[in-house]
């Protein structure tokens, strides 16, 4: 079984974070970084671990983070029916 399939069976889903941060030399300028990983909704332990690393080791101060995950946004659920009825 692949690692991705195993994670999905454990409840992980693909998570995308758009991280806006300030440039260290020019703090008035915002830059963005896209982070993508399989993570657990709603606590996002992998994303939190990455953001903690960013805060401790990198110089660019984080301005904001936008997160997309299948648990937050997903298509409408569809139910299949067993039969079809036609009216004239």
User: Cβ distance 1 to 43 under 8 Å?
Assistant: no
Query: What range does the domain containing 31 cover?
Result: 13-69
Residue 77 falls within a domain, yes or no?
no
**pTM reported for the whole predicted model:** 0.76
Q: What is the pLDDT along the chain (88 residues), one digit of tens a residue?
A: 688 888 888 889 999 999 999 999 999 999 999 999 999 989 999 999 999 999 999 999 999 999 998 776 555 555 666 666 666 6
What pLDDT score does 3 carry? 85
Residue 80 falls within a domain, yes or no?
no
Can you say whether residue 67 is alpha, beta or left, with left for phi > 0 and alpha for psi between -120 and 50 degrees? beta
Q: State the CATH number of the domain containing residue 32.
A: 3.10.20
């Amino acid at each position: 079984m692949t690692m991705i399939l195993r994670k999905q069976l454990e409840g992980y889903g693909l998570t995308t974070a758009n991280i806006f941060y300030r440039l260290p030399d020019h703090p008035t300028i915002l830059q963005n970084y896209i982070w993508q990983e399989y993570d657990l909704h709603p606590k996002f332990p992998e994303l939190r671990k990455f953001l903690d690393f960013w805060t401790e080791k990198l110089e660019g101060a984080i301005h904001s983070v936008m997160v997309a995950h299948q648990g937050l946004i997903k298509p409408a659920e569809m139910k299949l029916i067993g039969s079809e009825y036609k009216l004239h």
